[in-house]
Amino acid sequence: MGFVVAIDGPAASGKGTLAARLGEAFGLPVLDSGLLYRAVAAAVLRDGGDLDDPKTCASAAEKLDLDSLVDPSLRSPAMGEAASRVAVHPEVREALVSVQRAFAAREPGAVLDGRDIGTVIVPDARVKLYVTASAEARALRRWREAVVRGETAVYEAVLADIVRRDERDEGRAVAPLKPASDAILLDTTDLSIDAAFDAARRIVEAARARAGAD
Number of domains in the chain: 1
Tell which residue, 138, 34, 118, has the closest CA to residue 76: 34
Query: Which whole-number Å values give the CA distances from 46 to 40, 49, 123, 135, in the listed order?
Result: 10, 8, 34, 31
Average pLDDT over residues 49-76: 94
pTM: 0.90
Please name the helix (run of DSSP H) or strand (run of DSSP E) that holds residue 128, with its range, or none: strand 127-132
Average pLDDT over residues 41-51: 97
Confidence of residue 214 (pLDDT cuts 50, 70, 90): low
Per-residue pLDDT at 172: 87
Sign of CA dihedral 53, 54, 55, 60: positive
State what percent of residues in the chain have pLDDT above 90: 86
Determine the Cα angle at 91 with ends 19 and 178, to 5°.
45
Tell which residue, 1, 171, 6, 150, has the closest CA to residue 84: 171
Q: Residue 68 is part of a domain; what is its CATH number? A: 3.40.50.300
Per-residue pLDDT at 10: 95
79: domain range?
3-213
